[in-house]
Amino acid sequence: MTLQENIAAIEDKIAEACAKSGRSRGDITLIAVTKTVPAWQIGESISLGIQHIGESKIQEAERKLPDIKGISSVKKHLIGHLQTNKAKKAVELFDVIQSLDSERLAEEINKQAQKLNKVQECLVELKVSEEESKFGLDPSKLIDFLNLIRVFGGIRVTGVMVMAPFFEDPEKTRPYFKRVKKSFDEAKETNPGLKELSMGMSNDFDIAVEEGATMVRIGTAIFKGSN
C-alpha cells in the first residue's frame, strides 16, 4: 500500500461513518500521527494533502520539525503526555496541546505562553480507561477544571481529547466514546468555546466519528507499509 492509498482508504471510511451518522466530512479534522515517522515521509504526506500532524514527544518533534517539507502550512498538535518542565518547549513548538490534564500543567503553560505573548490553544485530556498507563482528567472533574483555568489569559481551551482502551473489536470502544461525548456536551453548556472532540485512532476512528468526534488521530493506518 502506498501512502496515497492508505489516506484514500481512511477518507472512504470517514465518509462512510459520516453518512451513517448524518454528519458531514467538513466537520471532521484528520490528524496524521507522525510519531516515529521520518521527516521525509511526513513531508510526503503533506504533499498528499495532510494539513494537521500529531507528535507525542517534545524531543522527537524538536528534532524532526525543521526537516519537514511544507511544515509551515500544517497545524501541529502535541498528543502525548506533557511534563511540566517541558511546557516551554511545547508552547514554542505546537499550535495545539491536546494533553492538558492538570492544574499544575495549566499554570506552567499559561506562564510560558504569556512570556511569548501567545494564547496557547489546548484540549483537556480525559481518562476513561482504568489502564495505569493512561493520563488524563476524570470526566467528572472537567467542568470544575475548566472553571479553574478560565482566568488563565495564556490558554484557550477549545475542546477535549481522549484515548479509548484498545480492543480487538473496535465496537467495544463505542460506550467510552459515548461517555466522553456526554461529558463534552455537558461542559459545553457553560463553556461555549468547546468545539473539538478529539477521539478515534487507527483501530476505532469510524466508531469515534459515528459518536461525534471532530478530530481523529491516525498514525498506523496512514504510514504502515508505505515505505
Ligand X SMILES: *Cc1c(COP(=O)(O)O)cnc(C)c1O
Q: Which of 155, 201, 208, 209 binds ligand X (CB under 6 A)?
A: 201
Query: Where do runs of H (alpha helix) occur along 73-173?
Result: 87-93, 103-115, 142-149
Q: Would you count residue 129 as binding ligand X (CB under 6 A)?
A: no
Contacts of 211 (CB under 8 A, 6+ apart): 21, 174, 177, 178, 181, 199
Which is closer to ligand X, CB of 48 or CB of 143?
48
Q: Which of 111, 106, 55, 112 is nearest to 78 (CA)?
A: 55
Q: Would you count residue 218 as binding ligand X (CB under 6 A)?
A: yes
Determine the 3-state secondary structure of 90 from DSSP.
Answer: helix
| CA–CA dist 62, 104 (Å, integer) | 23
Q: Would you count residue 80 as binding ligand X (CB under 6 A)?
A: yes
Q: Which of 161, 147, 68 is nearest to 106 (CA)?
A: 147
Q: How far is the CB of 206 from ligand X (least distance, A)?
A: 12
- The residue range among 38-46, 177-185, 186-194, 200-208 that interacts with ligand X, by the rule CB under 6 A, is 200-208
Residue nearest to ligand X (CB): 219
Q: Which of 7, 163, 187, 207 binds ligand X (CB under 6 A)?
A: 163
Q: How far is the CB of 41 from ligand X (least distance, A)?
A: 14
Grid cell listed for 13: 471510511
Q: Are 45 and 61 in contact (CB under 8 A)?
A: no
By CB under 6 A, how many residues form the interface with ligand X?
A: 14
Q: Would you count residue 33 as binding ligand X (CB under 6 A)?
A: yes
Which is closer to ligand X, CB of 153 or CB of 225?
225
Which is closer to ligand X, CB of 181 or CB of 217?
217
Helix axes 39-47, 3-21, angle to 10 degrees: 60
Contacts of 22 (CB under 8 A, 6+ apart): none
Q: Which of 79, 90, 146, 155 binds ligand X (CB under 6 A)?
A: 79
Q: Would you count residue 159 as binding ligand X (CB under 6 A)?
A: no
Residues at the interface with ligand X (CB under 6 A): 33, 35, 56, 79-80, 163, 201-203, 217-221
